[in-house]
Structure 1
């Protein structure tokens, strides 16, 4: 961990991630040149820097994720600064901020100046990088798995034309002869959140399938993949449509510069299943609500959770028959 060239106890992105994943608090000196203690607190999703309180307090009022306090430490003389960074979903970015402050301290800067200079240099990083939520990450993984299969069997142009998810249409894919709504979950059961009354409403004359995909953490499994890996794999399948693909990702909220923020590896928990949304399927739709809810017009939004684990499933029509589990 110690870098002999700088006297710095440097952590790699993987090491920082491991500390939070393990869920065990840690504290250790981060410099051999100045008093600087790094504290990692997974239970509060925080990274903290503790250093002697020499000079004026740093001004961090403009930053929601950062706070500074003066504390007393048993066995230590005088006050100490404790800078607290909310590291939720940005563990290594928070650690880089701490390292930058320590760099300034080692060069002789006051704590206030070190914090100010470091925040100025990393303002764009702290303000601009926003990771997709866990739900959106899983959803994009599922859609990309289907998209990759479609590219292999139908060609890149037809596959990308069929991918409607980034356009916020009612269904994720409008394929030849049928529509598909892709739902991806990390749960042990096939539990999915349906976000609107139209999401499982078939278009007139077009069969609609709910495609249930289960993913789970891969750990060190050889077949594990991150969202970043899957995006690069899909992009590598394209020859003439990369700009179209990249534009679709941008509409979803993906940025290539944020790829390092998606380090969790996944694998399929089970073979995907396809469920035909027919009159017997337990969907809440606008048409059904119109029949049973008084003063229906006063309901402006519908969201519900459905467990399809024990429902009858079917094969998707060709050329997607081998993507989902065979019910026979």
Structure 2
């Protein structure tokens, strides 16, 4: 596939993602003099840029995601720049596009790569996205929030959503609290960030809501974080400002929506686990009982695998969100 020199085509984020979802390598001629070819490799989640060798090699050894080498074709030597595009497909494409723009202007390959890296650094410094862990965590909370809006009311949902307010638990309902944990792993392994996160409030049962997701590819059931936010917004009438303020407090910016292109779908039905005396939670009270000089332990983080634990029934409004025990 070739892109016309007279009418150069800029690929938008959605189109770049579509090429990665194809599952097969796709090559583009981006420039003819010198010949510059881009190849998108979904299998390795990489983008490769090749051009006939001219001048000195670019300096990319200090960049973890970039590799460079020379190779021979039958009649000449070529440059190959490979970009590891995992979780940053569009940013990798922007880097390639910037290199080609420099080459079109007459720059050497070494200078083109150098200038493109400076430009990309400036781009990324002004835009940042949530870590994958925070992205998955927010997706999980929004799945619960969406369900509560649909099954109860937007007022109940927004008032019960405590996560944006830095409370210990993500949701506080009249009859129980819920801590929502989301994982991509095949087992229900969740990261607990403090000794108070799974500590029930006095007189209020606490449930850990375990959500498993997996990458959806082009699956019809898949959602991105931006599409899920749009879904929830569309369900709100009076609480949109409150919802948007909560998202902003969590680090979300609408202007960065194109940075979140990965689609997820449920791997399994969510389950609820009652955090009782038999639940393997590390809490302040338990630490106080066994750790000498407990006050010198400043923070606790751990992983808990609930896969083999018996899940529990849970009340409204999550009774039809979680799997019912047999």
Aligned counterpart, 1:3: 3
Aligned counterpart, 2:166: 168
2:325 corresponds, among 321, 324, 327, to 327
- Aligned-partner Cα distance in 2 for 1:153–1:269: 22
2:204 corresponds, among 198, 203, 206, to 206
CA change 1:36–1:151 in 2 (3 A) is: same
CA change 1:152–1:66 in 2 (3 A) is: closer
Secondary structure at the counterpart of residue 135 of structure 1: helix
Structure 2 residue 35 is matched with structure 1 residue 35: yes
Structure 2 residue 221 is matched with structure 1 residue 256: no
Q: Which runs of 5+ in 2 are unaligned?
A: none
Query: Cα distance, 1:225 vs. partner?
Result: 1.4
Cα RMSD, aligned residues only: 3.5
CA change 1:290–1:111 in 2 (3 A) is: same
Q: Which runs of 5+ in 1 are unaligned?
A: none
- Aligned-partner Cα distance in 2 for 1:39–1:2: 11
2:296 corresponds, among 290, 293, 298, to 298
Listed one character per residue, the Cα deviations across residues 109-139 of structure 1 (whole Å, up to 9, x for unaligned) are 4557655765666554222222322222211
What is the aligned length?
Answer: 326
Q: Mean alpha-carbon deviation: is it higher for 203-212 or for 302-311?
A: 302-311
Query: Cα distance, 1:305 vs. partner?
Result: 1.7
**Are the counterparts in 1 of residues 3 and 29 from structure 2 also a CA contact under 8 Å?**
no
Secondary structure at the counterpart of residue 31 of structure 2: coil
- Aligned-partner Cα distance in 1 for 2:302–2:120: 40
Aligned counterpart, 2:267: 269
- Aligned-partner Cα distance in 2 for 1:270–1:245: 27
TM-score (ref. length: structure 2) = 0.82
Taking the TM superposition and a 5 Å limit, the aligned residue runs for 1:20-99 are 29-38=29-38, 47=47, 49-51=49-51, 73-74=71-72, 87-99=85-97
- Aligned-partner Cα distance in 2 for 1:137–1:144: 11
Taking the TM superposition and a 5 Å limit, the aligned residue runs for 1:124-143 are 124-143=122-141
Q: Mean alpha-carbon deviation: is it higher for 82-91 or for 96-105?
A: 82-91
Query: Cα distance, 1:152 vs. partner?
Result: 2.2
Secondary structure at the counterpart of residue 145 of structure 2: helix
Aligned counterpart, 1:197: 195
- Aligned-partner Cα distance in 1 for 2:321–2:256: 30
**Are the counterparts in 1 of residues 149 and 235 from structure 2 also a CA contact under 8 Å?**
yes
